[in-house]
């Protein structure tokens, strides 16, 4: 039976059983689950036992989460998500429009009371009764509270839905807030990011489909498997930070050599996310902000991204490096992407944050107050 299901899965998703199992094992590892649990996930998908209906609402946003999800090059990811769930209402992807789809949404929610997954993308304006975002004559505020009432689980995808994001910046003219703020009596799982990593969404959905509940959350309702560590803890440039080697300007020697971007405003030291470990696009290849030479601006951290000026220095929360980092033997050489990636993964696996680099942090402080060379 399961063999037939896997054969069907191969056809449905266009991937081999081997690739799919490998993929599930990787997702399970990122969730901190065993190989056996990875098999349970694979089986849940292959046998299609549960396919939760999903109501997906869009508020104030740029559609970044949906765009990043659909453009992910990682084989199967977008197909897999769309195969895992029954996407009953999605304002960007619905082929239909107008009152017809609004009717379908109402019917889907009625027929699946207590069973559907509500995904919220974008912030919710609350000022003046929420009139600044309406679909089909209904405010996003009303659509959110209405859909949340009988949802089995609620996921806020992206920074705008998680805590207000871009629309809530500055003077916040529309009173934009995240979903949790308008649903105080519900648990809203937040997957912040601008855009959020589609792999984190997929892992959350896979977990929900397999176990019928949401994964463990931190104190900001983010899944711990993805947001349990600071970017700074697993960053491939961390050895440079610890050794006091910094880029001081875009394009300078330090920047060309792949030195730490702290002095260019990198917010990795105060931002929780797994970007260094899973990266974007193909689960590898160095495609993530710091990997391509840009400081992290804290897009997924409430109170950091869109709040702190880009070039302001981050608050360094951890001064002790993981012991899994490779040494940088040649001070003139950039750390290789491959070894850095391996170190980041090893850092996740080992889960260690030991060692002493208070001196490095001290050097950073010294340089903050006037140092102008690339090396401390």
> What burial class does residue 129 get, using C-beta atoms within 10 Å of its C-beta: 0-12 exposed, 13-18 middle, 19+ buried?
exposed
From 73-81, 230-238, 334-342, 355-363, give the range in contact with ligand SF4 by CB under 6 A: 230-238
| DSSP code at position 321 | P
The interface partner of residue 144, options being ligand SF4, ligand F3S, none and the CB cut-off 5 to 8 Å by kind, is: none
The site string for ligand F3S over 209-238 (x = CB under 6 A, - otherwise) reads ----------------------x-------
Q: 290 to 349, contacts with ligand F3S by CB under 6 A?
A: 290, 296-300
Q: Say if CB 143 and CB 57 are below 8 A apart.
A: yes
Q: Which is nearer to ligand SF4, 121 or 233 (CB)?
A: 233
DSSP state of 272: B
The rounded distance, in Å, linking the Cα atoms of 244 and 242 is: 5
Residue 140: C-alpha distances to residues 128, 150, 161 (Å): 12, 17, 12
* Residue span 157-196 as binding mask against ligand F3S, x where in contact by CB under 6 A, dash where not: ------------------------------------x---
Nearest residue to ligand F3S, by Cβ distance, number only: 296
Strand 188-191's sheet: what is its strand order?
Answer: 86-90, 53-58, 117-121, 153-157, 188-191
Task: Kindly state the tokens that stand for 215.
Answer: 């994964």
Which one of 289, 322, 341, 347 is in contact with ligand F3S (CB under 6 A)?
289
What x/- string results for residues 236 through 275 when contact with ligand SF4 is judged by CB under 6 A? -xx--x------------------xxx---x-xx------
Q: Which is nearer to ligand F3S, 25 or 273 (CB)?
A: 273
C-alpha radius of gyration, the chain, whole number: 22
Cα-based distances in Å from 42 to 20, 78, 328, 331:
8, 16, 40, 45
| Whole-number Cα distances in Å, 357 to 59, 284, 286, 361 | 44, 28, 26, 7
Query: In terms of CB distance, is 116 or 297 closer to ligand SF4?
Result: 297
Give the interface segment with ligand SF4, choosing from 39-47, 61-69, 132-140, 231-239 (CB under 6 A).
231-239
Smaller CB separation from ligand SF4, 158 or 269? 269
What residues are paired with 100 via a beta bridge? none
Say whether 310 sits in a helix, a strand or coil. coil
Number of residues that bind ligand F3S (CB under 6 A): 13
Q: Does 290 bind ligand SF4 (CB under 6 A)?
A: yes
Closest CA to 153 of 94, 105, 218, 85: 85
Q: Which stretch binds ligand F3S (CB under 6 A): 129-137, 143-151, 270-278, 312-320?
A: 270-278
Residues that bind ligand SF4 (CB under 6 A): 231-232, 235, 237-238, 241, 260-262, 266, 268-269, 290, 296
Residues of the shown chain interacting with ligand F3S in the complex, contacts defined by CB under 6 A: 193, 231, 271, 273, 275, 288-290, 296-300
């Amino acid at each position: 039976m399961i063999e037939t299901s896997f054969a069907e899965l191969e056809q449905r998703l266009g991937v081999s059983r081997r690739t799919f199992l490998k993929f599930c094992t990787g997702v399970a590892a990122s969730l901190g689950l065993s190989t056996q649990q990875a098999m349970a996930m694979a089986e849940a998908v292959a046998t299609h036992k549960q396919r939760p209906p999903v109501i997906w609402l869009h508020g104030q946003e740029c559609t970044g989460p949906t765009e990043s999800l659909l453009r992910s090059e990682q084989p199967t990811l977008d197909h897999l998500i769309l195969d895992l769930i029954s996407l009953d209402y999605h304002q960007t992807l619905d082929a239909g429009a107008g009152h017809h789809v609004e009717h379908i949404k109402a019917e889907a929610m009625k027929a699946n009371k207590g069973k559907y997954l509500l995904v919220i993308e974008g912030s919710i304006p609350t000022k003046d009764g929420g009139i600044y975002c309406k679909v089909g004559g209904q405010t996003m505020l009303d659509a959110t509270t209405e859909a949340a009432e009988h949802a089995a689980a609620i996921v806020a995808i992206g920074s705008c839905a998680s805590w207000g994001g871009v629309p809530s910046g500055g003077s916040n003219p529309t009173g934009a807030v995240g979903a949790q703020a308008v649903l105080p009596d519900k648990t809203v799982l937040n997957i912040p990011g601008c855009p959020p990593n589609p792999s984190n969404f997929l892992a959350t959905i896979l977990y929900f489909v397999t176990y019928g509940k949401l994964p463990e959350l931190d104190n900001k309702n983010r899944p711990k498997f993805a947001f349990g560590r600071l970017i700074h803890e697993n960053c491939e440039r961390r050895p440079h930070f610890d050794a006091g080697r910094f880029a001081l300007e875009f394009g300078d020697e330090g920047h060309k050599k792949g030195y730490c971007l702290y002095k260019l405003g990198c917010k990795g030291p105060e931002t929780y996310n797994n970007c260094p470990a899973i990266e974007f696009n193909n689960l590898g290849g160095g495609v993530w902000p710091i990997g391509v030479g840009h400081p992290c601006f804290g897009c997924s951290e409430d109170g950091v991204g869109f709040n702190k000026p880009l070039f302001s220095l981050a608050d360094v929360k951890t001064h002790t490096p993981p012991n899994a980092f490779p040494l940088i033997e040649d001070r003139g050489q950039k750390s290789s992407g491959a070894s850095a990636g391996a170190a980041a993964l090893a850092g996740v696996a080992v889960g260690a944050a030991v060692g002493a680099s208070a001196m490095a942090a001290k050097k950073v402080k010294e340089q903050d107050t006037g140092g102008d060379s690339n090396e401390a």
